[in-house]
Amino acid sequence: MSLFRKSLASLGIGSARVDTLVHQDVLIPGGNLQVEIQIHGGKVSQQIDNIDLYLCCHYREEVESSRGDNQHRKETITQVCKLAEWSLPYAFEIQANEERQFSATLELPFNTPITIGDAKVWLETHLDIPMAVDPKDKDRLTVRPDPLMDGVFTALELAGLRIRQVECEAAKNFALPFVQEFEFVPVSGPYHGRWRELEIVAYRDEQALQLWFEVDRRQNGFSGMLSSLLGRGELKRYLELPTGMHPQQAGEMVLEFLDQHT
């Protein structure tokens, strides 16, 4: 075996490569993600110590920056959050041009962002190869609301509200460093003319769907304010829906809550 080929493989040239196939077109938070991992041998044999998978997303955070003039400014940067990680204990040697396949079922965290608007979620697959650049694969995922959240969205849409923007924003006092904000605008129905926009933050665990609301009646708007209010504990419009509730009932309860508290 050529020492030169080994050296190239350690730099990632002619090394093994990995492709991950996701079997579902649409995923639901809290549900399963079924994948098939295909490993293709390179030009030399290589030892694989592990197969590591990372579920990732983007979120936005405001940070202070200095430009050398002693004045601090705030700027918005994009951060990456690892929502979950898995290590598959497969240690083996893959020969040159050999192909291997492994299957895995992974559980998506409840608070995996829904991929509408600017929200992006992806799965990274890494091969742990000693003394070499780790080959990796990146696959974009489509995540849709679970039935309870879908019931809330359906009720809001029937009441004349439309989603205008969805963003993952940095927030404190949560298990994750961010929350996902849904911004709605009334285009018809009972809230048209009363509100400028409605912001909702949702946080889910095994027992309940937690919702925070902020209503804006002003003309200048407050986009992105909800996550900062959560961090300061100033938000009072809070509703908790048990996970066993019927989706239609959840939507009706949200509308009733908004009518009573706005």
Provide, rounded to the nearest whole percent, the portion of the chain with pLDDT above 70: 83
Q: Which ranges in the chain are annotated with CATH 2.60.40.640?
A: 3-141
Q: What is the pTM of this model?
A: 0.84
What pLDDT, in 10s, does the model give residues 120-132? 999 999 988 875 5
User: 3-141 is classed in which CATH architecture?
Assistant: Sandwich (2.60)
Q: How far apart are CA 42 and CA 156, in angstroms?
A: 53
Which residue type is seen at 248?
Q
Q: Name, of 5-14, 55-64, 77-86, the range with top average pLDDT.
A: 77-86
Per-residue pLDDT band for 224 (boundaries 50, 70, 90) equals low
Average pLDDT, the chain: 84
pLDDT at 98 > cutoff 60: yes
What pLDDT score does 150 carry? 96
What pLDDT score does 199 carry? 92
What pLDDT score does 142 carry? 96
What pLDDT, in 10s, does the model give residues 165-221? 999 999 888 889 999 999 999 999 999 988 889 999 999 988 999 999 998 876 555
Count the alpha carbons within 13 Å of 137 in the hemisphere toward its beta carbon. Answer: 20
